[in-house]
Structure 1
Amino acid sequence: MKFFVLTLFPEMFDSFLNTSILKKSIDKGLVEIELINIRDFTQDKHNKTDDYPFGGGPGMVMTPQPLASSIEYAKERSNNGKVIYFSPHGAVLRQSMVSNLAKEQDIILLCGHYEGIDYRIVEKYIDLQISIGDYIVTGGELPAMVFIDSVSRYVEGVLGNEESAVEESFTKPLLEHPQYTRPRVFEDMEVPEVLLSGNHEKIKQWRLSKSEEITQNNRPDLYELFKKDQ
């Protein structure tokens, strides 16, 4: 099995890949891990990979171009691997999901940062969104390590197959609305017009509506909690 990890911080994996059972599995050729630096693919003259969100709000959003280019590069190097993005929007990682995904030959893991990634990347390139639990971490690198470690245990010849799952609750029972950043049009996909309107009340209403829609579709258990609080 081979993992392609798309990250802004490949150095975070140094210790992880050189210790314990995973290192032995890599040395035996049972598991392969290729780290791909997203920043290497940016076409921005300042080497930027993030920008301010359309519609306003705190933080920055990862721009679509370097993400798309790095994903396409990984897909060319893999056997058309499944693309997974670690996000609170995803289904919570469970052992049944781990065992099923362990049957894949190649998996591409996208590690987001900041306020997330431009949502057009989710719509066009992501096959599966996964959350490692109902809490927030700074970036996708730690979830990627958790995922690699748990899935690798199912690869034939790798020792260990134990389950350990701990869940916590979100502070709010709604998932975040989609985020968008420059450019306004990317691969014929446009940013929703309401985010460019400057009407803060309409933007607020749109974001709440999209949050409810995403939560109802992706996490109906959380949506039920939200409805009870109304």
Structure 2
Amino acid sequence: MGGTAMSIGVLLVDDEQLIRAGLRAIVASEPDLEVVGEASDGAEVPGLVSRFRPDVVLMDVRMPSVDGIRATTHLMSTMDNPPKVIVVTTFENDDYVYDALLAGASGFLLKRARPEEIVAAIRTVAAGESLLFPAAIRRLAAQQANRGPLDGLSGAGLTERESEVLRLMAGGLSNVEIAGELYLGVQTVKTHVGNVLAKLGARDRTQAVIKAYDTGFVTPAG
């Protein structure tokens, strides 16, 4: 996608110019990262993504015209190969964060995050991994509890083993840790995780875990 042959292309989306300038400086200081474009509102995102093909979008959640949730939903629903989205927020208990993750964002960052955390997050999602923060997601899920119909993912057709794997994913365990917990090979766990994502229609682990909480399959206290 975007960037030069060896770099990760990043699109910055925030209505505050000062925030964009700070993010630009952090990204530009890394040899493997490149800012390919900037936007001050979610309405600009589809056109810029089509033009510059970024690998990762740093997306502010609260913007005056089109917020980060709507912009993320649009990207995930209209593009065959959408960029990874990291939502950026002032408060980790922001309701918008939960909705953005449910819409398909791969994780979130706080605006007060250290530069090295921001850089690591970009590299993580660009590599196809997820930014999974179990404690923070559990808090978000607790705030959103019972806001919609809870079916426990009964229609997803998960096997008993896949259900076990999803619960451990929701606890923040890596594939290696899940393998140790269930006495399975890592490759077998990877297969189960892939099956879980496919059955839930989830792009990555973060979205699978959010769906598990959203349907009541996993409870915040569980």
With the shorter chain as reference, the TM-score category is: 0.3 to 0.5
Bigger RCO of structures 1 and 2 (CA < 8 A, at least 6 apart): 1
Which has more helix, going by share of residues?
2
Which has more strand, going by share of residues?
1
TM-score, normalised via structure 2 length: 0.38
